[in-house]
Amino acid sequence: MSVIKRPDDMQRITNVELAEKFIEEQVALVKEQVGNKKVLLALSGGVDSSVVAALLIKAIGKQLICVHVNHGLMRKGESELVVKVFGKELDANLVYVEAEDRFLDLLKDVADPETKRKIIGGEFIRVFEEEARKLTDVEFLAQGTIYPDIIESKGVKAHHNVGGLPEDFAFELVEPVKLLYKDEVRVVGDALGLPHEMVYRQPFPGPGLGVRCLGAITKDRLHALREADAILREEFDNCGLAGKVWQYFIAVPDFKSVGVRDGKRYVGWPAIIRAVNTEDAMTATIEEIPYEVLKKITDRITHEVEGINRVVYDLTPKPIGTIEWE
């Protein structure tokens, strides 16, 4: 397979005018490639798949079928945002699959991180395959492949987002942003009118909160994690840190400690704050969060989130600690 290479003279997309020119070019190319056939897209709600979805809706409208699988491991409000933006505002041909119980049943009592990843990834493919088999006349599979994906994989990136589909799914790929870097994809997303919180969404692991709810996942601990993470994100937005920190999140381990609430013994989980900056994700430094911000986050999480009675801040850079805990 020949390696796809970004042309040396390709101008970096840095403003809305260049983004609009790119969109116009891609709309024409997609129309030429697809014709009147249908296109299938796994829409996670992440930056890349969302930008591809919006671009293809502009090009081919209802010929695009977006499948959003809510595996119950999304951050607070993310699936709702996908439905709002694509199902309502953009009037997309959106298939929404509520699969939380299905995933959590498979993950019950599974503590090993790699096993959790395999279960989540494998079941996502099965759910997507089930939805795909319900459709007819679909000849194309759209993907949010971007240029760093191609560089990292030396061009071998077939089925990047939904890898592992059966061989009888003979789709032709549609990858309109495959020559763009992440910052360019965001500029294009802005030009397409997508919400800021979607375009500038921070990196999120494929297994979602499944690798931040440490150890064997339980529904109550997953709920506590989701609520605590939402508070962290809200407070980072309020104090201006959201735009300065590359990645920030909460992890909740599978052990408890004793605490006190309303004068009574209160046993709960700790919430671990992770906030790092990086250029390439190979190394990472720790963001210095002002004490008053940490104090407010701690106060809110311990008072508003049932089941959490401590908040700690992970000060470990990479190396030696990885960015994610699992």
Q: In this predicted model, what pLDDT tens digit does every residue of 243-270 receive, in sequence order? A: 899 999 999 999 999 999 888 999 999 9
Q: Any idea what DSSP says for residue 246?
A: S
Strands 264-277 and 257-261, sheet pairing = antiparallel
Least confident of 206-210, 221-225, 291-295: 206-210
Helices and strands per DSSP (H, E), number in the chain? 10, 10
Query: To 5 degrees, how large is the angle CA 174–CA 38–CA 36?
Result: 100
pLDDT, one tens digit per residue, over 62-90 is: 999 999 999 999 999 999 999 999 999 99
Taking residue 92's Cβ as centre, other Cβ atoms within 10 Å add up to 24
Burial (CB count within 10 angstroms: exposed 0-12, middle 13-18, buried 19+), residue 228: buried
Rounded to the nearest angstrom, the gap between the alpha carbon of residue 27 and the centroid of all alpha carbons in its chain is 25
Per-residue confidence (pLDDT) for residue 155, from 0 to 100: 39
Phi, psi of 293 (to 5 degrees): -70, -45
Whether pTM exceeds 0.95? no
Domain ranges of the chain: 16-199, 212-313
pLDDT, one tens digit per residue, over 179-205 is: 999 999 999 999 999 999 999 988 888
What is the C-alpha to C-alpha distance for residues 301 and 13, in angstroms, rounded to an integer? Answer: 40
Q: Which fold has domain 16-199?
A: Rossmann fold (3.40.50)
Looking at per-residue pLDDT, the higher value among 239 and 151 belongs to: 239
**How would residue 162 be classed by pLDDT, with cut points 50, 70 and 90?**
low
> Residue by residue, what is the 3-state secondary structure of 136-199?
CCEEEEECCCCHHHHHHHCCCCCCCCCCCCCCCCCCEEECCCCCCCHHHHHHHHHHCCCCHHHH
Per-residue confidence (pLDDT) for residue 1, from 0 to 100: 45
Per-residue confidence (pLDDT) for residue 3, from 0 to 100: 65
Per-residue confidence (pLDDT) for residue 4, from 0 to 100: 79
Phi, psi of 198 (to 5 degrees): -90, -45
Per-residue confidence (pLDDT) for residue 156, from 0 to 100: 38
Contact (CB, 8 A) for 257 and 270: yes
Per-residue confidence (pLDDT) for residue 204, from 0 to 100: 86
Q: Report the candidate in 67, 45, 58, 46 with the shortest Cα–Cα distance to residue 19.
A: 58
Phi, psi of 76 (to 5 degrees): -60, 130
The answer to whether domain 212-313 has CATH 3.30.300.10 is yes
Torsion sign, CA atoms 58, 17, 198, 303: negative
Checking if the pLDDT of 304 tops 90, the result is yes
